[in-house]
Structure 1
Amino acid sequence: MPASLLLVPPVEVPPPATVISDAAVGLPPGRVVEAHSLAALDRIRDPDIALCLIERPLSAAFDRWLDGLPAEALPTVRLTVAPVRVMQALAPVFDRSGLPPGAFRRQLLADIALLVRRFADVAGVAEVDLRLEAIDTDACWKWHVDWVPLRLVATYRGPGTLIADPRRPDRATPLRRHQVALFKGETWRPATVAPVVHRSPPVAGSGVTRLFLCLNLPEGEGGG
């Protein structure tokens, strides 16, 4: 696949000036890196890169297990955690939610721990702000940029985040299941490219519950 987004017309994509600060409007659009290895996340530090997309399908059996769980068994938690403690920190959260034990639960824990470790390595931080959410609403339904230096998102169940192409803000594409997106936000420094515009997919009233992972720098940490 070429290093560009597969574009589909989005709904109600606003002009960048309505979602990006005056300072960011003057920044050039960044390039997109697409890869099949998490090692490519390091490219986000390149001055001209705005977004890294990593394609990494997990097994169909894992997907069937996750899709078959009742929505109330999906965990929701936010914590600041060191990469080496992710599995230990999440295990009791999974117990409380009712996520059944077994190989697939261990696979989910291991995958989240892997993404936290890679994010921490790229961002150069000892701890990561981890948010894992079961979402059945439209959440952040407006097109926007994030007031953070750097953010990683991935969706384990349900439709993925809608990402606007940095070069064509009138067009966007949904992230595929398990696809990882690492992108620069409003406060990345030095600011050499415009932050990435995105929004949550509409799921309210559909009966769909997403399982969404979001990783940020701990509060007070900078980027760049």
Structure 2
Amino acid sequence: MNTTSDSSNPKTRNAEDHLHDASCECHESHDEVISSTAAISNVEDKLVSSQIVFVDSSSELKQITEEQVQLSVWRQKKLPNFAKILSSASLDPASLPTFQALVTSLDAFERLTSFMCPPYPLRSKASNALNDEDMKEMIMEISELVKVFANISKSNFVHVKLEVITDDGCAFWHQDCVEVRMVRTYCGPCTELVPPENSKETLLNYEHDSIHSRSLSHGDVALFKGRGETLEDEELLDQPGIVHRSPRIEDGSGVCRLVLILDIPVEGWHY
């Protein structure tokens, strides 16, 4: 895939506008948080970077393994029905599905199904944002993403976390201390990031908003390259790894997020 910044290249022009368009899409239904993330909607701030690629299929996410690529995004052209339902800003957080476990490509579907879509006598009445058909569609998508992530990361096991978030989460700009991480936001405002060329200045001002910030959308499946280490010395600020943060959520706003995160399990983690 050609990722140069030549404005005559149609793919490049498309990539430049991807994150701005997504930002508008993601925040239109969450007016209550726009004021704290106003920098994201700066029309003039186009994203141009050969280190961020947009792909047309989940299998192409493997471009994250290329040395220069720090973020690979599969933007779904059409949202599945379950994702359309979950993208509503009016959903009760208690009605949203959650899951956390260490799985493999072979048992992911079964593990997800037994927990998220058990027989009726065992099912919580609170988790009713999705009916059975839509829940199974969601389980199928997550299972497929586990397979994609396992194949790209070459990991036999994948840590799956489907989590409801009602606060700022990781509200400061940072790089993940992992090799690679998959992120998919189903509900609420989406993960914010800055182009790699703005990484150092953003990390030096990690508590503040950035005029370079962009946002992913509900249709995005993103593979983030991390820094792969935990040191935070200033001389290491030039390390690769996409700089990002959780969107700001005001206390008492009622805004929540439903986020899927896939990780390579690391010794010492508590699952």
Question: Which residue matches 2:132?
Answer: 102
| Identity, % of aligned positions | 29
Does 2:92 correspond to 1:62?
no
CA displacement at 1:177 relative to structure 2: 0.6
Question: Which residue matches 1:173?
Answer: 214
Amino acid at match of 1:98: S
Contact 2:79–2:219 at 8 Å: present in 1 too? no
Aligned residues: 202
Q: Distance in 2 between matches of 1:60 and 1:81?
A: 23
Identify if the C-alpha distance between structure 1 residues 210 and 57 changes in structure 2 by more than 3 Å, giving closer, same or farther.
Answer: farther
Q: Distance in 2 between matches of 1:59 and 1:187?
A: 32
Using structure 1 for the length normalisation, give the TM-score. 0.79
Give the secondary-structure state (helix, strand or coil) at the position aligned to 2:173.
coil
Larger Rg: 2
Contact 1:48–1:193 at 8 Å: present in 2 too? no
Out of 181, 203, 215, the residue aligned to residue 249 of structure 2 is 203
CA displacement at 1:76 relative to structure 2: 2.8
Q: Distance in 2 between matches of 1:61 and 1:125?
A: 30
Amino acid at match of 1:180: V
CA displacement at 1:213 relative to structure 2: 0.4
Mapping for residues 106-185 of structure 1, pairs under 5 Å: 106-169=136-199, 170=210, 171-185=212-226
What's the Cα RMSD here? Answer: 2.8
CA displacement at 1:194 relative to structure 2: 1.3
Q: Distance in 2 between matches of 1:63 and 1:128?
A: 22
CA displacement at 1:110 relative to structure 2: 0.7
1:151-172 Cα offsets, whole Å, 9 max, x none, are 1101011111001111233512
Q: List gaps (5 residues or longer) in structure 2.
A: 1-10, 24-37, 41-48, 117-122, 200-209, 230-237
Q: Distance in 1 between matches of 2:267 and 2:79?
A: 37
Identify if the C-alpha distance between structure 1 residues 72 and 34 changes in structure 2 by more than 3 Å, giving closer, same or farther.
Answer: same
Amino acid at match of 2:98: T
Q: Distance in 1 between matches of 2:80 and 2:63?
A: 29
Give the secondary-structure state (helix, strand or coil) at the position aligned to 1:119.
helix
Q: Distance in 2 between matches of 1:102 and 1:206?
A: 30
Q: List gaps (5 residues or longer) in structure 1.
A: 12-28
Amino acid at match of 2:221: V
Identify if the C-alpha distance between structure 1 residues 63 and 93 changes in structure 2 by more than 3 Å, giving closer, same or farther.
Answer: same
Using structure 2 for the length normalisation, give the TM-score. 0.66
Contact 1:136–1:209 at 8 Å: present in 2 too? yes
CA displacement at 1:78 relative to structure 2: 2.0
Identify if the C-alpha distance between structure 1 residues 72 and 6 changes in structure 2 by more than 3 Å, giving closer, same or farther.
Answer: closer
Choose between structure 1 and 2: higher strand proportion: 1
Contact 2:19–2:216 at 8 Å: present in 1 too? no
